[in-house]
Structure 1
Amino acid sequence: MNQIAAPVLRPVVRLQIEVAPPTLLGTLNGIERRMVSIVGGRVQGQFSGSILPGGTDVQSVRDDGTIELMARYAVDLGDAGHLLLENTGLRRTATEDDRPYFRGRMRFEAPAGSLAWLNSAIFLTSGYRDGSVVHLEVFEVL
């Protein structure tokens, strides 16, 4: 009889993403919207690189303060080329009864070669924001 294995998380990389102050767009279609420009940063772990300026995190702020985010940005890997990253997730601040929550799903677009495996796996993120820096840890779901 086949059994379904529980997912296991394997650490892959850590990101330090430098961001600009948000641009407040107001209420659009009944939802508070804002955009956060990504101005740089770095990636370290199974591969390393520099986060390129020019990415954007488009955010929707719910009535309860929870933030839905969708960020797209690129990483320069030096001689290995570039990666395109997309992180979607939720962030909420701590309450009296709860800790801060910052979780998401990362998708990679990687070039052929040693990092091509990033194109065909599922990745989860866990993070926190500290001033103008977002810290994310990326895990492969095995």
Structure 2
Amino acid sequence: MAAHGGAPELEFLMEVAVQVGQPVDIGPTPEGHCRMVPIIGGTFRGPGLSGNVLPGGADYQILRSPVLTELDARYVLESDGGERIFVHNTALRHGSPAVIEQLNAGAVVDPTLVYFRCWPRLTTAAPALDGLNTRLTVGTGIREPGQVLLRIFTIA
């Protein structure tokens, strides 16, 4: 664990493959161009923890500019043991106008050209997973056609 005042360490928690449906375009609003991307399933795996992403969540997006997208996803993970974890994941995705345009069109994009960082908040009622309620997590993301890959780390 990091000493008081020192830089915190990161511990790998899980990788999540979130399957997504076709975006629902809301259009330009005073806050930016809004979209909703349905979450239709997926899987997650980590040390001692694995399971599925339940269908029914969504990623609410605000395209703040041609290069910056704010993401706000909410969905549920269900472990192989039946425990459920609520995920509220906020993120920023940034890249050049051409790369973001391709990404938003569903094209395959080199992930090194996109800054995609997130802050997932994980909460659960499962006693065995109570530690998730008391820790902050951060992560990296890669948008692929039909899915989002997240690597989530606990801040020690």
The answer to whether the superposition gives a TM-score over 0.5 is yes
Q: Which has the higher helix share?
A: 2
Corresponding residue of 1:91 = 93
| TM superposition shift of 1:87 | 0.5
- Partner amino acid for 2:116? F
| TM superposition shift of 1:99 | 2.9
| TM superposition shift of 1:75 | 1.0
Corresponding residue of 2:61 = 59
Q: How many pairs does the alignment contain?
A: 140
TM-score norm. by structure 1 comes to 0.91
- Identical-residue share of aligned pairs (%): 31
Corresponding residue of 1:4 = 5
Report the Cα distance in structure 2 between the residues aligned to 1:110 and 1:26, rounded to whole angstroms.
34
Alpha-carbon spacing, 1:94–1:136, altered in 2? closer, same or farther (3 Å): farther
Report the Cα distance in structure 1 between the residues aligned to 2:28 and 2:97, rounded to whole angstroms.
24
Report the Cα distance in structure 2 between the residues aligned to 1:59 and 1:30, rounded to whole angstroms.
11
TM-score norm. by structure 2 comes to 0.83
Q: CA offsets per residue over residues 26-47 of structure 1, 9 Å max, x none?
A: 1122410000000000000031
- Equivalent residues of 1:94, 1:101 under 8 A apart: no
Unaligned ranges ≥5, structure 2? 99-111
Corresponding residue of 1:14 = 15
2:103 matched to 1:102?
Answer: no
Corresponding residue of 1:43 = 44
Report the Cα distance in structure 1 between the residues aligned to 2:16 and 2:95, rounded to whole angstroms.
20
